[in-house]
Structure 1
């Protein structure tokens, strides 16, 4: 349940929104980088086996 924030409601809610946005961006960048590293490792293994 959300407490009554009075005149600070906009600031508090925007802080929550920006924090969640930052977490989403960081997670997206992490996943993108993870996929790129997996592809590079797979390519390196194929090149090493050949």
Structure 2
């Protein structure tokens, strides 16, 4: 007797990890950019 595994659970999990990782990277980059712009503005005396 053989049981087949449902592969769709793993496919959905892989997509979820990919999408969440991408969103986290975008948020981190955006926050870093804002901090760098703030430091630049302080250095220019604005």
TM-score (norm 2): 0.79
Gaps of 5+ in 1: 1-6
The structure with the largest helix share of the pair is 1
TM-score (norm 1): 0.74
Output the aligned Cα RMSD: 1.5
Runs of 4+ aligned structure 1 residues displaced above 6 Å come to none
Gaps of 5+ in 2: none
The higher-RCO structure (CA 8 Å, 6+ apart) is 1
